[in-house]
Structure 1
Amino acid sequence: MTSRARGFTLIELLLAISILAIIAVLGWRGLDSIVRSRETLTAGMDQSRGLQLAFAQMQSDCENMADGPLLRNRAFLQAEDNRITLVRMVLGENQPTRLQVVSYRVVDGVLTRRESASTRELTQLDGLWQAALSDTDPAAAVALQAGVQNMVMRFWVPTANSGVSVVSNAGGWRPAAGALTAGAPGVTVLPTGLEVSMTQQGLEIPMVKSFLLGAL
């Protein structure tokens, strides 16, 4: 008696195909989730890297900030929400010290930096300072980072000795407001640090960096 080989029935084939289809869909969803997570992580890392580079440039500018005696009691730093304007020294090898106005702005979600022409003339510096404050400086602004929601600053004010007039009544972090001018009447202690907080769009926790003012 001959035996006949038994094959798969139609129901068994349909069941196997259905199982394979379910496995394929689950695998595709898992792979798609991994790809999306990787893209989001890469974008976040790119933004963080961009902000770190912007902070590095700010640190260089703050370290080279011009002091009061050099400016003869002129303003050297003005910070407010989404705006920083400062005067920095330009130090070249075998070159005299020159002064330059640098401004940081957050406009339409983009952090930009603009630097003026360098000069040794204080009267020319006054014009460069006013042009920076009014955003009429003809120098081109360089985009440092996109996707910035806001930029907030604070000053570190050291504790003064008894009987000494200071910018603030006590030491500690204070919201940045107005311009800092060395030698201004009634002010003998100025902030020694600047804290910058930048929040990326879509995030709630800001990236914070503190700088010494005039460390060099």
Structure 2
Amino acid sequence: MRPVPEQRGFTLVELLVAISILAIVAVLGWRGLDGIMRARGTLTDQMEVTRGMQLAFAQLQSDCEHIADSDVLVQRPRLLIGTDRITLVRDVFVENQPAQLQVVAYRIINGTVVRRETGATRDLAQLDALWQNAVTDADTGGAITLQGGVTGMQVLVWQGGGWRQAVSTVSSTGIQPGQAAGNTQSLEATGLQVALLQVGQKVPLSKFFLLGSQ
């Protein structure tokens, strides 16, 4: 008879070593997976922020391209830059109808960029009233949220062949068409540079805009 080969199993020490190795591999794998999931979540959040900013900038670009001509406004301001705010008058075109005017206001309220637009009109006296309500924030209806989590907005204006800091603020008394009130300043510019700073970001997102179809 052939001798039966001796069968040898794992010792307790070998089992403990194997279990320890598997535990270490599992911990390392979990940490790696957790890091990947965290990075993916951060990247997704950043992409959502970038997408929101792009949509806000796209809307502002459309408004800037259709800003009203100064000659049409007859010495009325068409653009007003303030602290965390932009107010402008733009043309509104409806098929088979004459062009009309409306006031558009961008504001940062509680960390959120909102946009308001008034009704369209061809009556300059009515436009004066709409402008007054917009610059004094008397009209609080119809706000559309564009982007949240914004800590501030900086605006530069292109004037006289160079970029200038827009530091004017809107007075509580408002502004009369064609006049300046308090520390309010009506700006005749041909371009804007708008920078929005997002919560948690060190570098703001900025974009240049031409005023009118130049």
Quote the offset at 1:177 in angstroms: 3.7
Contiguous gaps of at least 5 residues in structure 2? 171-175, 180-186
2:197 paired residue number = 199
| SS of match in other structure, 1:5 | coil
**1:1-216 equivalences in 2 (<5 Å):** 2-158=4-160, 171-178=161-168, 190-215=188-213
Contact 2:128/2:177 (<8 A) preserved: no
Q: Is the 8 A contact 2:79 2:188 kept in 1?
A: no
- Shift in Å at residue 215 of structure 1? 1.7
Residue 69 of structure 1 and its aligned partner are, at CA, apart by 1.3
Cα distance in 2, alignment partners of residues 139 and 69 from structure 1? 29
Aligned residues: 201
Q: Deviations over 1:24-71 (max 9, x none)?
A: 000000010001001101100110111011111101100100111111
* Cross-structure match for 2:173: none
SS in 2 for 1:15: helix
CA distance in structure 2 between the aligned counterparts of 1:100 and 1:174, rounded to whole angstroms: 26
RMSD, aligned CA: 2.2
Structure 1: where are the runs of 5+ without partners? 159-170
- In 1, the alpha carbon distance for the partners of 2:18 and 2:162 equals 71
Identity of aligned residues (%): 54
Contact 1:111 1:143 in 2 (8 A): yes
- Range that drifts further, 143-152 or 131-140: 131-140
In the TM superposition, residue 81 of structure 1 has moved relative to its aligned partner by 2.5
Q: 1:109 to 1:183 in 2, by over 3 A?
A: closer
SS at match of 2:78: strand
Misfit runs of 4+, over 2 Å? 1-4, 181-184
State the 1:109 CA deviation.
1.1
CA contact (8 A) 1:66 1:214 kept: yes
Matched residue, 2:184? none
C-alpha offsets along residues 151-208 of structure 1, whole Å, 9 cap, x if unaligned? Answer: 11011013xxxxxxxxxxxx310011449x9988xxxx94211110111111111111
Q: Is the contact between residue 150 and residue 199 of structure 1 (CA under 8 Å) also seen in structure 2?
A: yes
